[in-house]
Amino acid sequence: MNTKIAFFDIDGTLVNVPNGMLHPTDETIRVLNEFKNQGNKIVIATARGEVPESVANIEFDGYICNDGHYIRFNNEILIDEQFDNGMVQKQLDVYAKYNGRSMFNGRGGAWCSFLDDELVIKHRAMFQGTTERPTDVNEVFKTSDVKAVSCCVLFDSAAQLWAAYHELEDEFTMIPYDTGLIRMDVYCKGFTKGTACEYLYQKLGIDYENTYAFGDGINDVEMLQLVKHGIAMGNAIPKLKSVASEITDSVDNDGIAQSFKKHFNI
């Protein structure tokens, strides 16, 4: 099968919200559309629970969200792993011990009691490009109300993060970020972003030799390792660059478009 598939992280790969780059460049949009028009597949692979409007003008074939715990391809939901009530309560109990500010997200809504907290506001600015208070989040809720696929929890210190991490690590899959905005993304045990990409290209019958992935962060390490062509952005963290098969230019300098021109003459 000669069909190729390319997976794309969003933040730091397609867009750079902290730098004011809220949308992919015109050249990135052009090469992705041309690649797709040639019969190939393009798929988002993100920690986000929903794909932002900033990339909505690109018709992706599939979406891997929540670091692999929600997979949709050609409008068919393949994977949707939600927390049960016990998982939600377990998290809330642990986060309360370490002053964690939790933000639960699912296909049917969001649940957060900390919308005016300084760290939560910083998170909105980092990932949504705004500090505006959302109006569609459930602030008062019972455990049984939460129908979430993921939880992002914010901490004041790395020590708090790791203490919570070690209490939950046997029951959940977690991606910790212990520098900058200290937080971790929490999911059911199961898929990761990388294994979700592998699952999808194998399900589609696409040869390993024809698999590509682009990323910049710690949660992209396994993704780049499980495809043939794991391409780190020029702005990627050093650990990701160390496992990448190649390094392209930064997101701000059309790194994806440059790589597509190199590989596909687009």
| pLDDT one-digit tens code per residue, 205-241 | 999 999 999 999 999 999 999 999 999 999 999 999 9
114-164 residue pLDDT tens:
999 999 999 999 988 899 999 999 999 999 999 999 999 999 999 999 999
153 and 211 in a single domain? The answer is no
Tell me the C-alpha to C-alpha distance, in Å, between residue 74 and each of 34, 168, 196, 211. Answer: 18, 34, 16, 18
Count of the separate structural domains present in the chain: 2
SS3 of 6-42: the string is EEECCECCCEEHHHCECCCCHHHHHHHHHHHHCCCEE
Is residue 1's pLDDT more than 70? no
* 165 and 210 assigned to the same domain: no
The residue range of the domain holding 111 is 83-186
**Which residue carries 């396994």 as its tokens?**
222
Q: Is the pTM of this model over 0.75?
A: yes
Q: What is the CATH number of the domain that holds 158?
A: 3.30.1240.10
Domain boundary among 148, 164, 186: 186
